[in-house]
């Protein structure tokens, strides 16, 4: 085995880089220039802050969850990204990138979507800014997230079904990359997660980092000090890197990312890329991927369309390699149970994605994965309306914990 | 075969390079197709390894890759088929088109050595561009495998020179986009070919979008030394092959399609 090739551009340790076809180089260089020259300016920051308040709905509150905490045996506080416009943390990123695209003179936005949250957010910002929006979505995801498809169309976006592969998120990204290769002079690819070729992992992280920055400030003010643990679900990893980023330098704070364990880690049907993957090149970055011995990418599985992805943002691979963050998995079944518990104990119906993070907290004390007395900050990154159809079709019984 | 064989072939004038996907439509037939192409006059071949996520490829090659993977063509099997093609077509330089993860997975050195052992002359890794290709180029050099970089319609002159400096030949995508047959836009493309041919001092290979002899003749006139025809020929497979009984029809149809690209009139 040869030494791992260290990426030359945008590396996070041995991960990251720009492993994209040469035809995309002009677009990626243009974007990197814009990221360096436009994003730091006062005018851009002011515009971003103004829109974040007025249109996205920032800041979001921290919510104590006493009844959920009692179930978990761990004091848990939620960062309420489910309350953002569109119902998920995705709005933070689409606002930043769409503003940047406008500065770059691009009139057309393309995006991939899995659960439909990023596609919906893109459709909404495109409507607000009067830009054209084309959303690539796997056919399977269009079936299981039908309400979001209709929401995107309502906002004037064109949703293009992707029929290749497993017809999920990975295939949608492939198709968006193909579109962008041909359309880059007029089009910005509004990538929805902190993955992809440099500069996307940094660009997306920096727009999502507001989650952790805000939460840290709020925690200090409301509870004093710092949380002991920060927990978030990880698909591509934008919500997790968004809440982790401000806490990475705080060595006392444990960072835990929860991946989709699907039907179980040993079933082969899961999306636990960091827990069970190996280093590879996918969608422009060297990162952890689910692949066979010869490098063919495997089809992942998760009940959550938003986590159903065989790669992960390269910065998470780096945080895992250095030991700064720990990554675990929660199964479909655990996530569904947590979805029911949160709905019944706090009156918050979460999306299936953060239900994985909730599932980890519910089991962590008993399993010994977290110590007794740990105070947990959890990114509740999306609300569950989009998942209700899927949930009801399962015919499960809700939790009844009151007379 | 060493990549100097390429110079020998190009010394006889510009060459059409038919492209095929290993294992498409079946492992054996992809070897037979290579033989048919050479029998029809091809002096170079472009060989793509099947990969689950071919982001630079359009619908025709995606379909070919899917046929190949569905038939069980793993990377090990692909190397075996490559070796058979090299035996079947001695003296024909074989340029490999491979996606980075297949190379990364088994290691750059290992991949380059296996490619040379199987008879490849050059390697283009579609999604490992110049900045990230340093360790790959080192591995190719050690193994005696030629390295090829991809360029596009928008690649600036200074970058073209840097690409050429590390390439056995520069592979220019004639159109901005994924692989696939194009209608129109050829005048701008030919202008670009002439411009790039002036800048690079290694052979220039033109790919993406070509499907007719007349286009190829004009591309050679503009300075291209190699013209790759991929999607147009790969589509012949989808059109002619449904069941094993179509094998003869496929091979004669493929050979005829190659011949039409190579000979005038």
**Which of B82, B44, B97 lies closest to B203 in space, CA to CA?**
B44
Q: Which residue in chain A has the smallest CA separation from B148?
A: A22
User: What residues of B are in contact with residue A291 (Cβ under 8 Å)?
Assistant: 101, 105
| b/e burial code for range B30-53 (CB count within 10 A of at least 16 → b) | bbbbbbbbbebebbbbbbbbbbbb
Distance between B147 CA and the closest CA of chain A, angstroms: 15
Residue B32 catalytic?
no
List, for residues A159-188, the tens digit of each pLDDT value. 999 998 888 899 999 999 999 999 999 999
Q: Are residues A328 and A376 in the same domain?
A: yes
Cα(A375)–Cα(B62) distance, integer angstroms: 50
CATH of the domain at A161: 3.40.50.1100
Kindly state whether residue A339 falls inside one of the protein's structural domains: yes
pLDDT at A2: 46
Q: Are residues A237 and A322 in the same domain?
A: yes
Yes or no, beta carbons of B132 and A174 under 8 Å apart: no
Q: Which residue in chain B has the smallest CA separation from A293?
A: B105
Q: Are residues A134 and A27 in the same domain?
A: yes
Yes or no, beta carbons of B101 and A17 under 8 Å apart: no
Domain span including residue A376: 56-87+209-393
Closest residue to A22, CB basis, from B104, B134, B151: B151
Last residue of a domain, one of A183, A204, A225: A204
Mean pLDDT of chain A: 96
Q: Are residues A235 and A356 in the same domain?
A: yes
Closest residue to A281, CB basis, from B76, B100, B107: B100
Q: Are residues A197 and A248 in the same domain?
A: no
* Statement: residue B1 has pLDDT above 50: no
Q: Please tell me the total count of domains within chain A.
A: 2
* Statement: residue B4 has pLDDT above 90: no
Residue B46 catalytic?
yes
* Statement: residue A401 has pLDDT above 90: no
Of the residues B48, B79, B104, B150, the best mutation for testing chain A's interface (the one with the most A CB atoms within 10 Å of its CB) is: B104
Q: Are residues A176 and A216 in the same domain?
A: no
Q: Give the pLDDT mean for A343-351.
A: 97
Pairs of residues, one from chain A and one from chain B, whose beta carbons lie less than 8 Å apart: 126
Q: Are residues A176 and A225 in the same domain?
A: no
Mean pLDDT of chain B: 95
Kindly state whether residue B37 falls inside one of the protein's structural domains: yes
List, for residues A73-123, the tens digit of each pLDDT value. 999 999 999 999 999 999 999 999 999 999 999 999 999 999 899 999 999
Q: Are residues A175 and A306 in the same domain?
A: no
B176 φ/ψ angles, rounded to the nearest 5 degrees: -80, 110
Q: Are A242 and A208 in contact (CB under 8 A)?
A: yes
Of the residues B62, B69, B76, B105, the best mutation for testing chain A's interface (the one with the most A CB atoms within 10 Å of its CB) is: B105
Kindly state whether residue A11 falls inside one of the protein's structural domains: no
Yes or no, beta carbons of B128 and A281 under 8 Å apart: yes
List, for residues A180-228, the tens digit of each pLDDT value. 999 999 999 999 999 999 999 999 999 999 999 999 999 999 999 999 9
Domain span including residue B222: 4-147+212-260
Last residue of a domain, one of A204, A229, A247: A204
Catalytic residue chosen out of the listed positions B46, B48, B113, B149: B46
Look at A102-111, A356-365, B166-175, B177-186 and tell me which has the smallest mean pLDDT. Answer: B177-186
Q: Please tell me the total count of domains within chain B.
A: 1
Q: Are B75 and B47 in contact (CB under 8 A)?
A: no
Kindly state whether residue A179 falls inside one of the protein's structural domains: yes
Catalytic residue chosen out of the listed positions B24, B32, B48, B57: B57
Strand order in A62-64's β-sheet? Answer: A62-64, A75-79, A375-379, A229-233, A254-262, A325-331
Q: Are residues A219 and A176 in the same domain?
A: no
Q: Are A272 and A265 in contact (CB under 8 A)?
A: yes
Q: Are residues A321 and A363 in the same domain?
A: yes
Q: Are residues A83 and A104 in the same domain?
A: no
């Amino acid at each position: 085995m040869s030494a791992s090739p260290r990426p030359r551009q945008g590396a996070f340790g041995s991960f990251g880089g720009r492993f994209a076809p040469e035809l995309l180089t002009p677009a990626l260089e243009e974007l990197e220039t814009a990221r360096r020259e436009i994003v730091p300016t006062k005018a851009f920051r002011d515009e971003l802050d103004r829109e974040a308040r007025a249109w996205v709905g920032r800041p979001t509150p921290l919510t104590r969850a006493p009844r959920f905490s009692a179930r978990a045996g761990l004091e848990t506080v939620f960062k309420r990204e489910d309350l953002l416009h569109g119902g998920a943390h995705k709005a933070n990123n689409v606002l930043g990138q769409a503003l940047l695209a406008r500065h770059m003179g691009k009139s057309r936005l393309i995006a991939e979507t899995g659960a439909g949250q990023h596609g919906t957010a893109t459709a909404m910002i495109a409507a607000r800014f009067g830009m054209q929006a084309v959303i690539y979505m796997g056919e399977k995801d269009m079936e299981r997230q039908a309400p979001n498809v209709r929401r995107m169309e309502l906002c004037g976006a064109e949703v293009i079904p992707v029929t290749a592969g497993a017809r999920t998120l990975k295939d949608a990204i492939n198709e968006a990359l193909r579109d962008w290769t041909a359309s880059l002079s007029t089009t910005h690819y509004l990538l929805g997660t902190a993955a992809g070729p440099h500069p996307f992992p940094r660009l997306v992280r920096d727009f999502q980092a507001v989650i952790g920055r805000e939460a840290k400030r709020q925690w200090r003010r409301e509870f004093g000090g710092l949380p002991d643990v920060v927990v978030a679900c990880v698909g591509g990893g934008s919500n997790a890197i968004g809440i982790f980023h401000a806490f990475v330098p705080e060595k006392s704070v444990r960072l835990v990312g929860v991946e989709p364990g699907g039907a179980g880690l040993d079933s082969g049907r899961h999306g636990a890329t960091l827990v069970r993957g190996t280093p590879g090149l996918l969608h422009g970055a060297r990162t952890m991927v689910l692949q066979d011995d010869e490098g063919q990418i495997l089809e992942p599985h998760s009940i959550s369309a938003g986590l159903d992805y065989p790669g992960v943002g390269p910065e998470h691979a780096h945080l895992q390699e250095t030991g700064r963050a720990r990554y675990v998995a929660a199964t479909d079944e655990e996530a569904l149970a947590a979805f029911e518990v949160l709905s019944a104990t706090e009156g918050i119906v979460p999306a299936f994605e953060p239900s994985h993070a909730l599932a980890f907290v519910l089991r962590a004390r008993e399993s010994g994965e977290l110590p007794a007395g740990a105070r947990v900050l959890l990114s509740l990154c999306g609300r569950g309306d989009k998942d209700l159809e899927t949930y009801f079709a399962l015919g499960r019984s809700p939790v009844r914990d009151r007379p | 075969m060493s990549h100097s064989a390429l110079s020998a072939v190009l010394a006889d004038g510009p060459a059409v390079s038919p492209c095929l996907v290993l294992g498409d439509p079946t492992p054996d037939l992809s070897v037979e197709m290579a033989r048919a192409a050479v029998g029809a006059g091809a002096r170079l071949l472009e060989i793509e390894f099947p990969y689950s996520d071919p982001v630079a490829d359009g619908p025709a090659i995606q379909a070919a890759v899917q046929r190949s993977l569905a038939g069980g063509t793993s990377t090990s099997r692909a190397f075996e088929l490559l070796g058979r093609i090299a035996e079947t077509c001695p003296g024909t330089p074989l340029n490999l088109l491979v996606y980075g993860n297949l190379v990364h997975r088994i290691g750059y050195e290992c991949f380059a050595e296996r490619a040379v052992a199987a008879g490849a002359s050059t390697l283009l890794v579609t999604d490992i561009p110049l900045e990230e290709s340093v360790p790959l180029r080192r591995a190719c050099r050690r193994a005696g495998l030629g390295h090829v970089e991809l360029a596009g319609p928008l690649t600036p002159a200074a970058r073209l020179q840097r690409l050429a400096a590390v390439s056995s030949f520069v592979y220019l995508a004639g159109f901005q986009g994924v692989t696939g047959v194009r209608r129109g836009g050829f005048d701008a493309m030919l202008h670009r070919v002439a411009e790039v041919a002036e800048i690079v001092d290694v052979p220039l290979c033109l790919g993406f979008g070509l499907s007719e002899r007349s286009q190829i003749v004009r591309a050679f006139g503009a300075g291209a030394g190699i013209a790759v025809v991929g999607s147009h020929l790969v589509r012949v497979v989808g059109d002619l092959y449904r069941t094993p009984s179509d094998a003869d029809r496929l091979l004669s149809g493929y050979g005829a399609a190659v011949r039409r690209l190579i000979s005038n009139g």
